[in-house]
Structure 1
């Protein structure tokens, strides 16, 4: 694997997502900046978090901390932002981010997914609170629906009010959303869905806290769970972002806790190539360095700079 980034302020970079800046060609990483060194009660260290930014000017080989996403303040006071999903469409960037009011010492309280837009990836304008059921929706992932399915967009997210299963919602325009219920019927608890198109199929990976489960689909609606899991060893991968296009290169970017015994809260972002063999998704050689092409996941995250 390639170690991409550690947050220099809190050393708690988690939930990464990557997107190419359309004006500069640089790659931007957005992530949850967990406060690994916070000494408050309970799980305060995973609350009160901002969305951090790191930038690579050399196609992912090196990453530099760029600060925090601006304009996300939704209410007064210190609040919590998790798991950004950032995409490009029709001349602007869209962010869908999980929001919790305040800094909680436990896992209680409502949580919502907020929608923002930006012209430059640095300054963000609030659009709406998404009308998702249950007041426990987190971890958005967005993908365009094919024309034969009517077009538009689908969002997958974790619904903690329904056993932490993966639900979905559809939108014609990225602004109005209609919940459609469970996306993976009869499935187990998990979170952090990510979707990519690669090697003639759609793939979804989810974090089940001991690695990444893998699902395959031909239509983004009916998903088959594949046996086993990815990166489920003694230091498992968590909440990944998958980047790929067609039969060409694909990458998995994820976070781990590299020292679970000595410093279990501290985390870092890593990357591995993805391959498909015999209809199964697998990680490629650990020695392969990350190199991000301009057209990876176009038009969502890559594409030609302009």
Structure 2
């Protein structure tokens, strides 16, 4: 009996900790993008490494979200994550501030789309653009092209391969009222803007295929907006917002922001970042701190639901 119990425990799926990951350098992990590295048999998570610990006297000074590198974390099982330093992003084609990595593998090459701000600014009034990089090993990155999307204020890429060929990119166009727009490409280099997927303001779109349909989840600043589609072009929004109300678990007491989604067969997991504004620390700047949480997505009647308080049993498989 004891041997059988030990075998069962050894083979059971791990339960994710709360929080899933906390950056050990600046305590400002945000904007995750997660992939499976078959070469090392590990899950690799790239994230914006916000400088939440930066001491500033002016509360309106947002230098702490500038001057940011891209952090890296690794995991064998998707539950226990270890810090892996910062990504080796070439300075020659980027800038002082790096945000919101989007990492995907197409063919035998890894691709990253990165939001770049060319400097460190005290306010939000700076140009920003998307840069494409490539890698063979997820460690050494090479410069690609700067994307021309008809605006000098674009952020937050999400890219998929379309079933009929070609690729689609969703992004936030800040000059278009923070709308989520989309563009198509035959080769991941030349992009043509096609239209708007979400006209209401938001950011951080994440597009994915699951349960025989397309989904697009974006950060509406009052929780996550969920849309579904049969063709990745025409979208229907489900009522309300996911995780707009504060959670009850320690470190999870604020709205969810900027989602990533891992599809693992019939299961799907949402990775989101959450500010620590609900934790009540004596440090007046504690609310800047942000960390990553995980929740399992459930599909019911064509809509996505999630219980952020439920323990998450992680069963990740490489796609």
Q: TM-score, normalised by structure 2?
A: 0.86
Q: 2:293 aligns with which of 270, 276, 284?
A: 270
Partner of 1:88: 105
1:11, 1:289 → 2: CA distance?
25
Rg (Cα) greater in structure: 2
Partner of 1:70: 88
The CA deviation at 1:75 is 5.6
Partner of 2:46: 30
1:61, 1:205 → 2: CA distance?
22
Matched, 1:191 2:203: yes
Question: Deviation per CA, 1:268-297, whole angstroms, max 9, x where unpaired?
Answer: 1010111111111011572123332122xx
Partner of 2:139: 122
Cα 1:279/1:106, change in 2 over 3 Å: same
Q: Is the Cα contact below 8 Å between 2:117 and 2:129 reproduced in 1?
A: yes
Question: Deviation per CA, 1:176-229, whole angstroms, max 9, x where unpaired?
Answer: 211113223xx3100000012122211111001121011010000000111011
The CA deviation at 1:237 is 0.5
Aligned length: 287
Question: Deviation per CA, 1:141-193, whole angstroms, max 9, x where unpaired?
Answer: 0011121xxx1100000000000000111111212211113223xx3100000
Partner of 2:116: 99
Q: Secondary structure at the match of 1:239?
A: strand
* Higher RCO by CA contacts (8 Å cutoff, separation 6 or greater): 1
The CA deviation at 1:245 is 5.6
Q: Is the Cα contact below 8 Å between 1:211 and 1:232 reproduced in 2?
A: yes
Partner of 2:29: 13
Q: Is the Cα contact below 8 Å between 2:223 and 2:255 reproduced in 1?
A: yes
2:214, 2:264 → 1: CA distance?
10
Cα 1:75/1:127, change in 2 over 3 Å: closer
Q: Secondary structure at the match of 1:133?
A: coil
1:72, 1:34 → 2: CA distance?
19
The CA deviation at 1:259 is 3.9
Partner of 1:113: 130
The CA deviation at 1:31 is 0.1
Which region of structure 1 is more displaced relative to structure 2, 256-265 or 154-163?
256-265
Q: Structure 1 stretches of 5 or more lacking a match?
A: 296-306
Q: Is the Cα contact below 8 Å between 2:222 and 2:244 reproduced in 1?
A: yes
Q: Is the Cα contact below 8 Å between 1:196 and 1:245 reproduced in 2?
A: no
Q: Secondary structure at the match of 1:48?
A: coil
1:171, 1:25 → 2: CA distance?
30
Q: Is the Cα contact below 8 Å between 1:50 and 1:68 reproduced in 2?
A: yes
2:299, 2:195 → 1: CA distance?
30
- After TM superposition, which residue ranges in structure 1, 4 or more long, deviate above 4 angstroms? none
1:72, 1:181 → 2: CA distance?
31
Q: Is the Cα contact below 8 Å between 1:29 and 1:54 reproduced in 2?
A: yes
2:287, 2:40 → 1: CA distance?
37
Q: 1:54 aligns with which of 73, 85, 99?
A: 73
Q: Is the Cα contact below 8 Å between 1:271 and 1:290 reproduced in 2?
A: no
Q: Secondary structure at the match of 2:194?
A: strand
Q: TM-score, normalised by structure 1?
A: 0.90
